[in-house]
Amino acid sequence: MSEKMNVESFNLDHTKVKAPYVRLAGQKKGTHGDEIYKYDVRFMQPNKEHMEMPALHSLEHLMAELSRNHSDKIVDISPMGCQTGFYMSLINHTDYDDVLIILEKTLLDVLEATEVPACNEVQCGWAASHSLEGAQELARNFLAKKTRMATSFRGIVCKNIYSLAGMC
């Protein structure tokens, strides 16, 4: 990685991170002052393991729907093509600890779910590829490691991003 690339994650040394973690991956300011914060929510260790598509797909549906029960700041939750995590984007929300709480509450809701939302051919582009049990196992494993995950990037986020805005 000698030259800086346009995509933030292409500049991240994936060999140096330790999943699971939640990392502020980007911040964009709109012309009217709104700010979007994009978090890298990494479930699996890059280049070592990945989520199987039916479980990942169901977890995407569940998180996208259930997270909005805990915050009106959610813009989007999108799976990574590498199948190791998700991007979670929020508008005008700078509180890292609250992001962790929103994520935890959402994943606890996933564990209680009895069905995958919008798991049909009308609302989903690949309705045959889902696994509620797989999604719940991913959520369970992530939550089991939350203590380590919660402290992994707090200092880095504060030092590298929020200090620029005087938030640390």
Domain residue extents for the chain: 17-114+127-165
In angstroms, the CA 42 to CA 161 distance is 19
Q: How many alpha carbons fall within 13 Å on the CB side of residue 100?
A: 21
Q: Is the pTM of this model over 0.95?
A: no
pLDDT of amino acid 1: 56
What class has domain 17-114+127-165? alpha beta
> Does residue 32 have a known ligand-binding role?
no
Express each pLDDT in 47-58 by its tens digit: 999 999 999 999
Express each pLDDT in 137-153 by its tens digit: 999 999 999 766 555 44
> Does residue 57 have a known ligand-binding role?
yes
